[in-house]
């Protein structure tokens, strides 16, 4: 089953456009997961597994950011493998890796990402052009989410520079969706105007939308700007707002319901 088939099945089954990021930071681990000894990997794994077990009925996918695992060395990569292996098979996984290179290096990055268990999609940078993404789209059934307009404060340093009278991120959107039917776009919820403008350029593309929750992105404005006519097209990501919540299940359910309320408002408008 392809990533997008798996995604739409999860959306329908869980009535959800919510994606939960699995980004364990030792210093931010809730106290209830701290064992008080040196077994930090066991504690982090228990944290991740509890988040998954309490939220999998409320999400359409999970998104671990590989940087947090790589920073922990070999034990961190084992933590990632065990986390990925624990995600139910029916829930797709986007590995947030933001890779970007060419030739044999891109092929090595793609293999490293897709050889990990249960990884269905990956994020990638478009800065080097199409051949930096081809190595990923060559994997049958896998998807790539190309960075378009990101959620960080300095995104505009480069992404909004005018090229032939239009912001660069619109050129990225226009070109990237022609590279493969398995390409989606990363568009941050902290810039709902960009979400709207990219949707006009790429009416049928799937958007991975970070920035909800801790980063302050507005759910209603994001959904209104980017929802497709079929009520889908958005994968709205929240990480700390769920993983650091006292009750992961309640937090995920509340995010899902807020997103669905915004979907209903768009449908009735």
Which of 149, 249, 253 minimizes the C-alpha distance to 202? 149
Q: Measure the CA–CA gap between 247 and 257, rounded to whole angstroms.
A: 16
Q: Measure the CA–CA gap between 102 and 134, rounded to whole angstroms.
A: 9
In angstroms, the Cα distances linking 203 to 1, 19, 81, 118, 144 are 24, 21, 35, 28, 17
Q: Active-site residue 98, yes or no?
A: yes
Q: 6, 63, 98, 111: which one is catalytic?
A: 98
Q: Measure the CA–CA gap between 73 and 154, rounded to whole angstroms.
A: 29
Tokens of 210: 């970070």
Q: Measure the CA–CA gap between 269 and 262, rounded to whole angstroms.
A: 11
Phi-psi region of 36 (alpha: psi -120 to 50; beta: other; left: phi over 0): left
Is residue 146 within 8 A of residue 176, CB to CB? The reply is yes
Catalytic residues: 98
């Amino acid at each position: 089953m392809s990533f997008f088939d798996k995604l739409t099945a999860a959306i329908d089954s869980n009535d959800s456009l919510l994606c939960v990021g699995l980004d364990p930071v030792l210093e931010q681990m809730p106290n209830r997961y701290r064992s008080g000894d040196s077994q930090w990997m066991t504690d982090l794994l228990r944290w991740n597994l509890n988040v998954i077990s309490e939220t999998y009925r409320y999400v359409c996918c999970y998104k671990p950011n590989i940087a947090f695992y790589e920073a922990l060395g070999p034990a961190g990569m084992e933590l990632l493998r065990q986390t990925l292996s624990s995600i139910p098979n029916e829930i797709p996984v986007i590995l947030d890796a933001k890779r970007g290179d060419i030739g044999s290096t891109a092929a090595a990055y793609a293999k490293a990402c897709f050889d990990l268990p249960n990884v269905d999609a990956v994020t990638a940078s478009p800065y080097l052009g199409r051949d930096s993404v081809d190595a990923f789209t060559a994997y049958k059934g896998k998807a790539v989410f190309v960075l378009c307009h990101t959620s960080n404060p300095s995104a505009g340093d480069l992404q909004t520079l005018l090229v032939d009278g239009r912001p660069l991120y619109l050129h990225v959107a226009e070109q990237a969706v022609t590279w493969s039917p398995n390409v989606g776009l990363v568009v941050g919820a902290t810039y709902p105007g960009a979400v709207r403008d990219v949707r006009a350029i790429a009416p049928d593309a799937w958007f991975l939308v970070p920035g909800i929750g801790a980063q302050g992105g507005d759910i209603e404005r994001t959904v209104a700007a980017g929802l497709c006519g079929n009520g889908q097209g958005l994968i709205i990501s929240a990480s700390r707002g769920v993983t650091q919540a006292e009750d992961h299940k309640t937090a995920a359910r509340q995010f899902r319901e807020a997103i669905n309320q915004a979907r209903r408002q768009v449908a009735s408008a």
